[in-house]
Chains A and B, each alone.
Chain A
Amino acid sequence: MTAIPQKEMVTGSIRYQPGEEVPNVGTKLFALRNQCTECNACEVACALVHSQDGMVNPQMARLRIDHAPEKSSRTNPLGIGFVAEICHHCGNPPPCADVCPTDAFYYDPVTRAAVIEQDNCIQCMECVPGCPFDVVFVAPKGELLKCDLCGGDPVCVKACATRPEMVNEGKQYVRLPVLFFEAQQEFNRLSKQIPEAQDEIGLMQAMLERGEISSSA
């Protein structure tokens, strides 16, 4: 009989400095600001993965498309368009878990994503304002929704296909999705370029605002 792996709860208060290896998270998710077409394909795909009782509902998705008229970026200086609001998986530990009064967050043993144990969650919603990126969502029935990385191969990233600026390499059209993930190592390499950020979360905010995070991974 195989033993069920012990769930590693998200607790502790170690703060990692930029460039340091963060042990808990293997994959980070990002979205390019204002490059999104609001096709909702990522929401629908996420809803399909997380469907319950034969119903599919984008309000149960772990990410949201939002209108972002005021944010401009290097690739979109006019600052018009949409943005996918998505969990970046900041492991530090993540601030959403940090504020949880019942310690309902645990690390998925496979993906290292911090996810919510619904049985322990009392739906106090502390984690909603606790998230600096506003990406913990509330389902229509009150359940708290946070990205779980779909077992390591996030379906939203695969679904993000609508951006027209594809790269034409010979006869092969390679799409540049708005949503993409970066390996922790690549993130660390990029993060060394912003020494002024205080911690990983500040670093991500700075990088997103500058449009420094690219889909090169």
Chain B
Amino acid sequence: MESRLLRVNLTTGEMKGETIPHSIFERWIGGSGVNNWIMWEHFLTHDINCDPRGPDNIFVFGVGPLAGTGAGSGIKGRITFKSPCYNMFGDSAGGGKFPYYARFSGYEYIAITGKAPKPVYLLICNGEVALIDAAHLWGKGTEDTHAILQEELGDYPSKVHTLSISQAGENQVGIAGVVSDALRIHARGGGGAVLGSKNLKAIAVQGNGGLPVARPGEMLAWSDDFRKKIDGNEAIYGFKRRGTLGAVEMYQHIGSHFWRNNQGNKFRGDEIRSDNWVKKFQKYSEVCSSDCFIACDSKYVIDGTESEPSKKYIGETFRRPEYLTTGSAAGALDVRDWSEVAHWGKITNDYAIDNQDLSCSISFLMELKQRDLISNHDVAELFGHEQSLRWGNMDDIEACVESIVFQKNLFGVMFRDGPYFGALKYSEMKGKNFMKYAMYGKGGASFTEEVRPYPTWMNNMAVASRGADHLKGIGLIEKFQREDLSKMYFNGRTEAADLTIPDLKGACTALAENQVALLNSYGVCLFHWMLDPAEFTPQDYYGKAYAAVTGIERTPEELMRDGERICNLEKAFNSRVGMRREHDMVCERWMWEPNSEGLYEGAVGADMFNTVLDEYYEWRGWEKESGLQTRARLEELGMEDVADVLAKDGALALT
């Protein structure tokens, strides 16, 4: 297994292709694992405490070895960088056709450093590369940028696929993402601001080269087996139709939404149900990337007959809102009409901005207004004019979005790095402590789902390497109370599936983080595993596909160690920038306010928080007091070199 890496120094314009040797894949699997290693190596020769918006930061794109080989699990590209909004490790996955075609363009990994003197875009076509003037693209949204590049570059040797930033990225808004093919966003962490700071508007790929598969016959047989299993699976049958939207009803039942800045956890009104979406809006099914046997995505076209507000959006077409698009609009902001939720999804994608941080910034301010903690005068001071800031009012919401994207006013400038930093700055400006109403977790990242009744999810939010979010350690065992999985992974013990006790919750986070790290490194989507976590295990079932594609033979236990190694490198990055146990935390409301409604009313996050966190460090083999890694565990994982770097930086546990 070998792969090609393109190194681009935008300051000098120098571009150099190199081969990533087999030994790197043996150690780091591929995808996010290899990305992490490329970034780690970069910061051995560059100051890790550099300004993430400066030329010393690195932006790595990579796609794992299983992507597009018949693995049937979608294709996820990954971007990795030092996060400009949280000032720590940052990475984000995204679909679209870009990662698929990146594999045929000649370079599966791209590492970008420096800063271009003027806006440019990078073109990669069958191994040939060029930096091209992007003056005509600057100031455009991702949809226009993609369309112009498609027109400009033509259809040979293949259609053009792009990764681009919007005006938000150009303005170096910390919560700006990067969008693949104008449809699928790499939202988390602020990759858009990194590219914006480097004056790189887009990366375009074209190509008709092939990709290596060590044993095609074996891969075909695996693929056939996987497809048969997917066909016969009842959970997947429903998921094909509704995707993550299917969670709306279940979350409504148990009380797991994030209503009005998490003052409640159920949607109000009858409209926001997945049934209503499918009946009124869903037009045809589509796949988000390629090589996926589920194809949970779909398109909508609004014709104005669906509801009164839909008349504003006649002709608008985009992809169906995901759960978190819905959770942020119908939840955090209390929008009660599907066409408005869909519109929110479309604008946040076109402006390439993280809808989690964005919605929590807006809902923070709306809650202050609702509680009369700020006056109309205070609002006018932030926006430069009167703004009603009513819950669910799309005009207000759009005004807030544009304030941030275009850095129009004080509100936009203050909240460019999300709700945590925004609330801090605003509290300071007003001389009042508003932090109680800011929703965030580790690093200041926010997330629009109820987490208080779920100890593993709380723990996920507190320890995730890229800041609070659920996609680094998915608490499936606990949230869906899967005793079978608990038994499978913990020697017949069932406690992991019991929400009412802290036992094995930290262990679950460690386990899921390792598994997710593996899937992210393979370059596939997480959903297939999530829909049947007992069958489609990353270490065992996917491990066979990994062997067929790369020729690297691994036992499931070895693969789990590989996953753990990848997680440890992300942790090491954060330790180097000064993060310790006290940074593994969540906001006041999640910690201390009792859960206000739903099946688990009254649950207080703090009850189990520290016990679970201790257990997580224990399972990780890290020091509890400081949260730092130990040399013993790093050496067990074959990471002596990493331990040496940490020791030099004073970021290794002393024990």
Contacts and interface: CB of A to CB of B under 8 A. Distances in A.
Interface stretch (A40-48, A87-95, A187-195): A40-48
Nearest to B75: A40
Interface in B29-73: 68-70, 72
B283 A39 contact: no
| The 9 nearest A-B residue pairs measured at CB | A57-B210, A55-B210, A162-B295, A164-B240, A39-B287, A40-B290, A37-B295, A59-B208, A51-B216
Interface stretch (B127-135, B185-193, B226-234, B611-619): B226-234
B237 A162 contact: no
A162 B284 CA distance: 12
A7 interface: no
A185 interface: no
B283 A80 contact: yes
A106 B450 CA distance: 64
A56 B550 CA distance: 13
Given A40-B290, A162-B240, A173 B234 contact: yes
B35 to A, nearest CB: 23
Interface in A49-79: 49, 51, 54-60, 76, 78
Interface in B131-189: 157-158
A82 to B, nearest CB: 8
Interface string B292-325: 1111010101000000000000000000000000
Interface stretch (A11-19, A23-31, A124-132, A153-161): A153-161
B290 A37 contact: no
B212 A55 contact: yes
B247 interface: no
B233 to A, nearest CB: 8
A39 B295 contact: yes
B220 A55 contact: no
A66 B339 CA distance: 29
A175 B229 CA distance: 12
Interface string B210-230: 111110100110011001001
Interface in B62-90: 68-70, 72
A171 B69 CA distance: 31
B249 interface: no
A152 to B, nearest CB: 16
Interface in A143-192: 155, 158-159, 161-164, 166, 168, 171-173, 175
A5 interface: no
Contacts of B208: 57, 59, 140
A111 to B, nearest CB: 18
A159 B222 CA distance: 12
Interface string A75-116: 010101110000000000000000000000000000000000
A41 B292 contact: yes
Contacts of B241: 164
B220 A49 contact: yes
B71 to A, nearest CB: 9
Given A161-B230, A162-B295, A173-B232, A38 B209 contact: no
A207 B481 CA distance: 51
26 contacts: A37-B285, A37-B287, A38-B286, A39-B290, A40-B287, A41-B292, A41-B293, A45-B220, A48-B216, A49-B216, A51-B210, A55-B211, A56-B70, A57-B208, A58-B104, A78-B284, A80-B284, A81-B286, A158-B224, A162-B287, A162-B292, A163-B295, A168-B237, A173-B232, A173-B234, A173-B237
B219 to A, nearest CB: 6
The majority secondary structure among interface residues of chain B is mixed
A132 B223 CA distance: 32
Contacts of B609: none
Interface residues of A, number: 39
B291 interface: yes
B181 to A, nearest CB: 12
Interface string B272-287: 0000000000011111
A40 B293 contact: no
Contacts, number: 126
Given A56-B69, A163-B285, A164-B241, A40 B209 contact: no
B320 to A, nearest CB: 12
A57 B287 contact: no
A32 B293 CA distance: 17
A39 B293 contact: yes
Given A40-B290, A59-B104, A78-B301, A140 B284 contact: no
Nearest to A140: B208
B212 A54 contact: yes
A58 to B, nearest CB: 8
A51 B213 contact: yes
Contacts of B522: none
B292 A140 contact: no
A56 B548 CA distance: 13
Interface in B368-384: none
Given A39-B290, A51-B216, A162-B285, A45 B295 contact: no
B213 A59 contact: no
B100 interface: yes
Nearest to A81: B284
Given A39-B290, A40-B68, 18 more contacts: A35-B284, A38-B287, A39-B292, A41-B227, A44-B70, A56-B70, A57-B209, A57-B211, A58-B68, A60-B210, A161-B227, A162-B285, A162-B292, A163-B295, A166-B231, A166-B237, A173-B231, A173-B237
A171 B210 CA distance: 40
Contacts of A34: 284
Contacts of B290: 38-40, 44
Contacts of A60: 210
Contacts of A163: 285, 295
A80 B299 contact: yes
Contacts of B230: 161
Nearest to B72: A41
Contacts of A164: 240-241, 285, 295
Contacts of B104: 57-59
B100 A40 contact: yes
Contact of B213 (A38, A55, A166): A55
B284 to A, nearest CB: 5
Contact of B231 (A49, A55, A155, A175): A175
Nearest to B549: A56
Most chain B C-beta atoms within 10 Å of own C-beta, residue among A41, A82, A158, A162: A162
Contacts of A48: 69-70, 213, 216, 219-220, 223
